[in-house]
Amino acid sequence: MHPSNIVLLEFHPERDALSPGKQLRNGLSVALRMGDTLWLANDESLSIERLTLAAEDSRGKTSFARAHRQYALHDFLALPLPPYEAEGKRINEADIEGLASDGGYLWLTGSHSLRRKRPDEGDGVRRSHKRLANVSADGNRYLLARIPLVGRDGSHELVKETGSKGKRRTAALLRGDEHGNELTALLRNDEHFGPFLAIPGKDNGFDIEGIALAGKHVLLGLRGPVLRGWAAIVEVAPVDDAGEGWLRLAPLDEDGAMYRKHFLDLDGLGIRDLCVQGKDLLILAGPTMDLDGPVTLFRWPGGARPDKASAVTREMLEHVLALPFGQGVDHPEGISLFSSQDGREEELLVVHDSASPSRQIGDSTLVADVYALPPRRNKK
């Protein structure tokens, strides 16, 4: 399916540095629109990017070309590792893979995944073997956090704290360290996910790539593992912990369950992003392994308000869109609801990892796609 429109995203080049040779626009992993504000992140960064809606151009094109601001996560959260390794050669990335908001907070998640080195072109046999045996944990990836939002008239800012007394809101991070957090500790003995925590994300190991809010609960979509063709969502309930700046996981119900599992038949694909649409949940699904492949948008009716563990068969899901993808480029990676200019039609904004040269304009602009969403099945 071809996009119904495009949106231009403009970054400031001076804020574009991640590590040598990298650009923010060439690896976007998430997008979230809130009024005139568009929140974005690059999965090799340690920051959140804010773009602001500009007036339509003479051709009626929409762009987020004003007030690019970069928010460094270390200014808000007590991450386990410093921003850069020794001598600043490599950033200790958070691998940000999900953004969501309840209006008061911006919630974000890292992948929680291990990484395996990839052989470089020209590596000999010995060096290739050595690289493929190198598995590491980047401690900042164990990130599940919230940051307060303030703003008005559709424009928003991130702040470390706001309000006073009983209405005070503060930035907070799920307790953990560079080896894991409370979530991975909880799942270590899980019959489905435990064995995959020691496997790198791009090898069908444990890998979070999507977050959505279900009331006071948080839904975490997993790119991997995909179990016999079924993808998974983990539901948890983060709450304030003792000591400012920290979260802990609370029981979900009176039975004391600390998490719920929702398995979905996504035709063998893993979850690449989540997006709430009313009471429903939009699911961007793509390959769990490091390859080009089909990308599909599914809708799970009622999925934004689950009240028990689920096994969602293919017949219970709506096939919404089949999205185009490139060979080695243009992998759909982040989605957000995006209303049309007249506000009558719901649309979907899609941003891409490994953006192709055709999407990159000048030194700072990127083309994102917008798709018209078909009506919901049995919509009342």
Query: Is residue 62 included in any domain, yes or no?
Result: no
Query: Is residue 295 included in any domain, yes or no?
Result: yes
Query: Is residue 141 included in any domain, yes or no?
Result: yes
Query: Is residue 217 included in any domain, yes or no?
Result: yes
Query: Is residue 233 included in any domain, yes or no?
Result: yes
Query: Is residue 45 included in any domain, yes or no?
Result: no
Query: Is residue 301 included in any domain, yes or no?
Result: yes
Give the alpha-carbon dihedral of 35, 270, 289, 26, to 10 degrees: -10
Query: How many domains, in total, are found in the chain?
Result: 1
Note down pLDDT in tens along the chain; length 380 residues.
788 889 999 988 655 555 555 678 888 999 999 988 999 999 888 999 999 988 776 666 788 877 889 999 999 999 999 888 766 667 889 999 999 999 899 999 999 999 999 999 899 999 999 999 999 888 999 999 999 999 876 689 999 999 877 788 999 999 999 999 999 999 999 999 999 999 999 999 999 999 999 999 999 999 999 999 999 999 999 999 988 899 999 999 888 999 999 999 999 999 999 999 999 999 999 999 888 889 999 999 999 999 999 999 999 999 999 999 988 899 999 999 987 555 556 899 999 998 899 999 988 899 999 999 988 776 54
CA distance 52 to 67: 6
pTM: 0.94
256 phi and psi angles, rounded to 5 deg: 85, 10
Query: Is residue 227 included in any domain, yes or no?
Result: yes
Domain interval for residue 305: 71-329
Residue 110's pLDDT is: 96
Residue 75 Cα distances to 82, 112, 146, 164, 199, angstroms: 11, 21, 13, 20, 31
Residue 195's pLDDT is: 97
